[in-house]
Structure 1
């Protein structure tokens, strides 16, 4: 694929090295301000904001990563989550020079820290500009997905929800896990349980326990139930519930399960995290999808999802 050409320069010594041109590692006391930056574009920043929500409740140590803020002194203009994923949040309201400075500052921290994340992911312009600066210093990625439509819906779905789609229960982890492994392997290109996969299994179990795993099953009459449709809410904030891991068993594809299944996920997510939950407004339900996945895009659009931005992912 053609190499991305961002507006930021390559990493090199710059004349401006003061605190207004650097980023810093944030502390617990900075989390509310970092969340306020994310709130400027809740869908684009969901992956970072979801970890910051955990940090606000239990501290950054419990959130499993670091939060970086730009600039090093003064009010925050941009943030970056550095954990299992590296997620830059550079508001589009920043002027070009400040946006470039923020990306360059985050790249400097990431370069010195070394690659610890399995991906760089988030709003496309920030991700690809950040990667262009890191590429000379980090290992080559397995794949760069530079055009992933970011879709969202903030109302009832346009198609009738599948009544068979429901939250999975802890006793179903043994059948949910193989479906999750199959989805991940198909989507990313390798199995997440190679070499043990304990962490991945715990992730699946935690989503089930949190009520963020949705399934449709079949085969109960034969005594061997299996998952034929599944999805998870992989990242949740007070404003957005991001759907991840959508999968239909290959044996059941072409039978019209995807759109009604996603409609059910939208309704269940809005009910669980909206008016029925402490009086909160129903969240926007979002997802991002590879641009070449025409079948999935068509199904999501039938449900009522509309494109609100574009993600990119650099996979290692």
Structure 2
């Protein structure tokens, strides 16, 4: 079967790999109809450190169940399903506690299992991983459903994770797909003021349509000063870092209100001032998003027409043209790319 492969930094090809098939009685085989390109994929494409090293690519997919093992009981052949970005057994203590991303038997697509940017995927622990979607393959909501596999679930986790009620002011650092989805999640939660910090006009336009009430386009110290001025010196009750680089982490810390919360969902590649958090009573939350936990409720919202993250997909490419999709994201010409299979 065909699959997207990262041969080396900057070198994406579509090549032949072993067909996906049932190996264990709890496996399913899913024919992929849509896959996403994520910022994590672009880090690997750029040769930067991260979980994805190649050659397999992709951890977001929607597809159709083609086959499954004898112990799979919740699926039927021919139904559309969505997968979270990590598979999990669904029954261990971590899964039961609501943290399937900590499942010791689980792992991430393209790291511990085959890549999602392929014609098909073998899904371990299919019952604990896959979520049926009551639509057909031509449904116009497929892109919105695909976003739930990772970025929309992560945006939701950024807002819902702290568990401190609805904050009065939320600031989101970063205008990538995760940051934009955090804005959308904040609006859905009823947050009245949402400040979005970013520098890309097209993305900021999406952010405004998603519910951002104020836009901050300056950087570092200037950004912090602008947010503090806008909040009367208090800062934001909840600050979402959707980037993870040191500059973003520093900005997030600087604009967080004393007694507020930092929600780190950008995959931190730097550090934060722990003593500063201690002295200012700042709660640090976030973490690796338990997307499988959120999928059913978010899917219900999409199917009911109350949630539509699909505008984050600014380009669609066929599987054979995946390299162009990667380049569009690397060049900041698309917030996120959907790969049609």
For normalisation by structure 2, the TM-score amounts to 0.27
Structure with higher RCO (Cα < 8 A, 6+ apart) = 1
TM-score norm. by structure 1 comes to: 0.29
Report which of the two has the higher share of helix. 1
